[in-house]
């Protein structure tokens, strides 16, 4: 595995998308209907569906319902690409590997990587890597540690997962290395040949939203900070890396405009993607900020909210 990691460590993508975030046309409450008609006329047929996984496409038991499987297959049969856009690392994508059909691509790590899932479990190939530079990562760790004493870290890389000894057991896996974050991110660290995809920062006492606000103020432009967990667990990526910016790159490569994208999400790490997409849906179980950002709202993940909208899309356009 280490030889594969060294090979992937040479993959770099320094593209920048500085205008990937499109603000909603007007403030206000999201539409609760899944109707595809707007006051200014019908919505153009979609060419790409971008959906988050946990709390969105997946049910709470992490399963993909038969209704959702059928809806995804029908969308792709109609010529609509489906992208899974998630905070998960590539190695956690096995749950949806069977549902990617023709293209087999997913955006992982909140935009830090585009992964080809065709090979099946354990054989995922990195197509695009948008790393968090180690100097930026070290600065972010130090700034947040100063601003929120008690913060502990884990480091997510292309093929490795490392953490500080005090980092809690949140991810049901054994870390490759245990060491202070400053050592894990040092230029001479044992895994220095692998790109850093994101840093995970956990605080045992702070309110999750308060921790996110504090971290963004502390880190500033050195990195992008977001969260997808209900606990005080933050995800720190490269300064210009988000689900939205990487999705925008992938769409540009395919000649797809943001108006032709329909997006789904439920947590703050989805907000940029939801405001960028031409049409977007917050799940019925979504964070309040997500409900405010999306242009529409569907039912909860346990009620197959993504499938409900896809079925309506297909009925209206195909």
Q: Distance between CA 164 and CA 166 in Å, rounded?
A: 6
CB within 8 Å of 219: residues ≥ 6 apart: 139, 140, 143, 144, 225, 236
Whether 28 is in a domain gets the answer no
In the predicted model, is pLDDT for residue 92 greater than 70?
yes
Whether 9 is in a domain gets the answer no
Q: Distance between CA 226 and CA 146 in Å, rounded?
A: 18
Whether 251 is in a domain gets the answer yes
Tell me, yes or no, whether 113 and 251 share the same domain: yes
Q: For the chain, how many structural domains are there in total?
A: 2
Tell me, yes or no, whether 67 and 101 share the same domain: yes
Whether 139 is in a domain gets the answer yes
pTM of the model: 0.85
Whether 268 is in a domain gets the answer yes
pLDDT digits (tens, 9 = 90+) for 286-306: 999 999 999 999 999 999 999
Look at residue 60 in the predicted model and tell me its pLDDT: 95
Whether 11 is in a domain gets the answer no
Which DSSP helix (H) or strand (E) runs through 85? Answer: strand 81-85
Final residue in a domain of this structure, among 191, 210, 237: 237
pLDDT confidence band for 116 (50 / 70 / 90): confident
Is residue 280 within 8 A of residue 286, CB to CB? The reply is: no
Which of 3-17, 34-48, 219-233 tops mean pLDDT? 219-233
The domain that holds 250 is classified in CATH as 3.40.50.1000
Tell me, yes or no, whether 233 and 247 share the same domain: no
Tell me, yes or no, whether 149 and 106 share the same domain: no
The domain that holds 220 is classified in CATH as 3.30.1240.10
Q: What share of the chain is helix, strand, coil (3-state, %, to 5)?
A: 35, 20, 45
pLDDT digits (tens, 9 = 90+) for 193-226: 999 999 999 999 999 999 999 999 999 999 999 9
Look at residue 24 in the predicted model and tell me its pLDDT: 37
Q: Could you tell me the residue range of the domain that residue 165 belongs to?
A: 134-237
Final residue in a domain of this structure, among 237, 271, 295: 237
């Amino acid at each position: 595995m280490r030889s594969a990691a060294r090979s992937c460590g040479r993959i770099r993508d320094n593209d920048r998308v500085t205008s990937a975030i499109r603000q909603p046309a007007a403030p206000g409450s999201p539409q609760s209907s899944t109707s595809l008609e707007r006051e200014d006329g019908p919505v153009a047929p979609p060419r790409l569906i971008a959906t988050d996984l946990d709390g969105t496409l997946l049910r709470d038991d992490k399963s993909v319902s038969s209704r959702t499987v059928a809806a995804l297959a029908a969308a792709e049969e109609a010529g609509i690409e489906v992208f899974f856009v998630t905070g998960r690392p590539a190695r956690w994508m096995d749950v949806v590997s069977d549902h990617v059909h023709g293209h087999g691509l997913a955006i992982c790590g909140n935009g830090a990587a585009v992964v080809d899932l065709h090979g099946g479990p354990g054989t995922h190939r990195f197509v695009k890597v948008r790393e968090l530079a180690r100097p930026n990562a070290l600065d972010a760790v130090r700034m947040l540690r100063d601003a929120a004493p008690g913060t502990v870290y884990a480091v997510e890389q292309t093929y490795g997962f490392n953490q500080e000894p005090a980092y809690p057991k949140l991810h049901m896996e054994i870390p490759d290395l245990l060491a202070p974050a400053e050592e894990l991110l040092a230029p001479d660290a044992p895994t220095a040949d692998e790109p850093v995809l994101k840093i995970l920062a956990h605080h045992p006492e702070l309110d999750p939203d308060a921790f996110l606000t504090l971290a963004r103020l502390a880190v500033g432009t050195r990195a992008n900070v977001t969260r997808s967990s209900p606990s005080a667990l933050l995800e720190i990526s490269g300064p210009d890396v988000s689900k939205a910016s990487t999705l925008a790159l992938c769409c540009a490569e395919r000649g797809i405009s943001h108006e032709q994208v329909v997006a789904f999400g439920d947590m703050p790490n989805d907000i940029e993607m939801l405001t960028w997409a031409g049409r977007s849906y917050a799940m019925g179980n979504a964070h309040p900020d997500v409900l405010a950002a999306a242009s529409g709202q569907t039912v909860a993940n346990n009620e197959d909210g993504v499938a409900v909208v896809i079925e309506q899309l297909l009925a209206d356009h195909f």
